[in-house]
Structure 1
């Protein structure tokens, strides 16, 4: 195994780009129109209203080019794509009545950069494309066009395109749409005979009209009912470990493993499940063992491309959903099958009105006494191989062991994430490439992150040859299950540290004297509070605790509040508190969604 820093650093100094010109490529479509947003667009607009500068608000990817391509080839390709796909000619009015506005014509920017002196060719494409991607990320376009393309050309007279990259507005496209655009870009740039708009496509305005039909409205409401059930049991933090030291930096560790890629192919063939489900099952097995949880309730993303007319659709369809993966008592093959069916069920309930979901989430959060952050625990960015793809010949034990020597761990700094841990699956073919993003390396140290990824790899490689019992999986994972002191309790699917709840009470209800108890008078997690001018009812106490939660991200609010006129000499002595003036939960029941 090799551990390295950012793999592009050693090459970066040799790839020098000089901006030469920007071409505004004219694009002309078949109509000018406007209409309401699609559910996918509403979802992105809702998300960006909270974090407009999020790392993923603009999606940057390499665009494939053949060995011989000119700037004119790229210009003509952009013109066809802009005419073919209305999402690339759309602007958005995100006022009170949100609308999408499709222009009949417009322009898309193409930036041309010249490489430094040297002999440049296809072998340099990866390193040059990496530099182009950094250029796009480090120099965002303030106008945020739907598609912005940059090419690097050779310094000689023919000016061949060596590499190409694109930045796409997430309002316009999601990762599924980008794969469509990358495929079509490769076809068009390499073959002049294909450069025509073709037959009419299903466009975002068409999708918005479809979503307004009674059948699709019922489908969206059913998704809300499903999500209400899942939201009512998802833990506040999935990876909530004891004895951590918050206040560190975010980082990402990337596992690149040819052995794991081979293992995933074999397990998928044996279990008849998707390769992504095999990966997620192994992740859940490792996390459940480490945290001691029997079920992993996780946010994830659904591409929402199940319907035939959406397979080649260019627009934002992806939305978040929640899956519940029961790990306890399942051998690995059974866990893979269960994960696959569970994720399919969750993914088919991922098209809904994000604004309505936000309102429902707010009420459920108030009832449960927590805050939701829905960054996905698992984000699958690796395309599933098509039907008929052979899993290949299973290598022997010695060959797999030899492949493990080529495992690499790369780490790099990243922007802060909203989850303690997040897994991004980026590649599944010759190598399995899995990122583990850590929000705070004081909570999840780098060594811990690397240990989780290597445990994941060990489980997969062992499962390549045979099903694994639960005991065998525990042995392979090789990490201790978290041990928690008597200050911790499991409540409402959440790990709760009473010391952290007490800190919340001290901050939210000062100058009142407060004390939290794990149980009192038949109620769990009870707060005793002295009455003050600002807090005299359970409702006021709960409202102030909810308002303070952003500064206490790992905490649940008390389930019951007891308001007393005075405090005893020793607040920790439950029996010494005087008779209360008011008691209650401080919240109203969460609403249900009717079909």
Structure 2
């Protein structure tokens, strides 16, 4: 490992020192982007950010600057997407160039003896999140060690979303922890497809057939659903685009109880609850939701680090049914959603535009759901909590609002956080379509619905079919796609 070099600027932030980290790895070459990378790139351009992943992580195990440099070397050497630069080719299409070797910088940020390393680490993480990557010139990973009185207190990491996603981060952290404790070498050779290999695979006939099956599924649902998810916009001033967080221990207990009774995952219960709550808020049925699908369940993709997550399309009828029935329909509709969430994003946009022209109105797809938890399986049988226990937990539920977005492309998105002992719902909302008061009502209704369902298997949703959609509602949640 190289010796420290005098201060530098890394990702727009001034460092005290740096260490140059050489790396080398397989998968070098030039080619197109994968479907997942292309989807993320489009979202990044719309948002005006790199949608970076990471943050400031306290170091409490005695790791040194050299240890963090070894971790950075591991990431860059093992994962080809960390060595990819993206630019526009001669034909105007995006290409990525994966380098076989090179060097990166581990920044070192020394905090004055009377300074606050927690605050310094968070400030650096915030600055990196707000500073887009230069993908044509910069490696898509930034990493720094924050030091106080000569001791590393935090590691700060930012990775561009075009280089990884939540599932990819999980792969990277798992394989980092599996390294040989003496040599620091990987426990096993890398077997996952790099981005250039996967992009080439996605051009093969067999994968193109999967693309065709997926697009047929989307077409069926886009022709089944009504065109609107929410009402017309209302100018409610600024800030327009907000992010919030709803935390509910009661929702955790109740969703586990319903899931255990039905032999499903809590993810199915929360998605069903979200679909019902949105329908009760808007009066629009069937519920049509874009659900983020990780795609690492597909053969050969379990250990891929670069982005695989794309949106699947989920349609379920929530009217004239019990909540348990909606959960059952959600199970079946989710399976189809995941099965057909592997497609060329450019061809999907062409399909959406064509259907919009033929129907005379574009089908709005601005209601989204993303369960960020990984490996959530069927809930095992367990005694249901008492109503008193649920109500006591409910007293601690809280909705908080954070920093607004400068811009946001969709109307409403709910993300399930990774906390183990509570349900954390991160909310992204366009308040010109869904007001702050409506968001609050939606969260409380979702919570109340699942709490009531925990003790009442026959609980009705209380939703009536949208009159204009009643003729097609029977198709939602019951039709099976070809393929």
Global fold match (TM > 0.5): yes
Match of 2:259, SS state, is helix
Q: Which residue of 2 aligns with 1:38?
A: 34
Q: Which residue of 1 aligns with 2:272?
A: 281
Contact 2:248 2:423 in 1 (8 A): yes
1:99 aligned to 81, 95, 102, which one?
95
- Distance in 2, matches of 1:297 and 1:240, equals 14
Shift of 1:375: 5.1
- Distance in 2, matches of 1:199 and 1:256, equals 41
> Residue 397 in 1 paired to residue 391 in 2?
no
1:117-176 deviations in Å (ceiling 9; x for gaps): 4698xxx97x776544323223444455321123322x223x12x232322222221221
2:71 aligned to 77, 102, 107, which one?
77
Contact 1:255 1:408 in 2 (8 A): yes
1:66-110 deviations in Å (ceiling 9; x for gaps): 532111111101111211111111123443354332211123333
- The within-5 A match list for 1:123-522 is 130-142=122-134, 143-153=137-147, 155-157=148-150, 159-160=151-152, 162-187=153-178, 191-196=181-186, 198-202=188-192, 203-240=194-231, 244-248=234-238, 249-371=240-362, 374=365, 377-385=368-376, 394-415=384-405, 416-440=407-431, 442-470=432-460, 473-474=461-462, 490=468
**Which deviates more, 255-264 or 226-235?**
226-235
1:51 aligned to 38, 46, 53, which one?
46
Q: Which residue of 2 aligns with 1:523?
A: none
- Distance in 1, matches of 2:275 and 2:245, equals 18
Contact 1:145 1:168 in 2 (8 A): no
1:88 aligned to 75, 79, 82, which one?
82
Against the structure 1 CA distance between its residues 72 and 391, is the aligned structure 2 distance closer, same or farther, given a 3 Å change threshold? farther
- Distance in 1, matches of 2:429 and 2:305, equals 31
Against the structure 1 CA distance between its residues 276 and 405, is the aligned structure 2 distance closer, same or farther, given a 3 Å change threshold? same
The one of the two structures with greater contact order (alpha-carbon pairs below 8 A, sep at least 6) is: 2
Shift of 1:256: 0.8
Contact 1:31 1:104 in 2 (8 A): yes
Match of 1:51, SS state, is helix
Shift of 1:64: 7.3
1:424-480 deviations in Å (ceiling 9; x for gaps): 21235211000222212x54322221111111111222223332421xx44xx9xxx
Q: Which residue of 1 aligns with 2:8?
A: none
Shift of 1:365: 1.9
Match of 2:376, SS state, is coil
Contact 1:294 1:326 in 2 (8 A): yes
Contact 1:426 1:435 in 2 (8 A): yes
Q: Which residue of 1 aligns with 2:24?
A: 28
- Distance in 1, matches of 2:363 and 2:285, equals 21
- Distance in 1, matches of 2:384 and 2:111, equals 44
- Distance in 1, matches of 2:86 and 2:210, equals 25
Aligned-residue Cα RMSD (Å) equals 3.4
- Distance in 1, matches of 2:387 and 2:130, equals 45
Contact 1:237 1:420 in 2 (8 A): no
Contact 1:64 1:182 in 2 (8 A): no
Shift of 1:177: 0.8
Shift of 1:360: 2.1
- Distance in 1, matches of 2:364 and 2:48, equals 17
Against the structure 1 CA distance between its residues 236 and 151, is the aligned structure 2 distance closer, same or farther, given a 3 Å change threshold? farther
Contact 1:63 1:185 in 2 (8 A): no
- Distance in 1, matches of 2:264 and 2:275, equals 16
- Distance in 1, matches of 2:258 and 2:55, equals 30
Contact 2:51 2:160 in 1 (8 A): yes
Against the structure 1 CA distance between its residues 63 and 229, is the aligned structure 2 distance closer, same or farther, given a 3 Å change threshold? farther
TM-score by length of 1: 0.69
What 5-or-longer segments of structure 1 have no aligned partner?
Answer: 1-16, 495-593
Contact 1:64 1:163 in 2 (8 A): yes
1:254-277 deviations in Å (ceiling 9; x for gaps): 111112112222222222222211
Equivalences, count? 455
What 5-or-longer segments of structure 2 have no aligned partner?
Answer: 1-12, 473-481
Asked which structure has the greater CA Rg, the reply is 1
Match of 1:413, SS state, is coil
- Distance in 2, matches of 1:138 and 1:461, equals 39
Match of 2:402, SS state, is strand
Shift of 1:324: 0.5
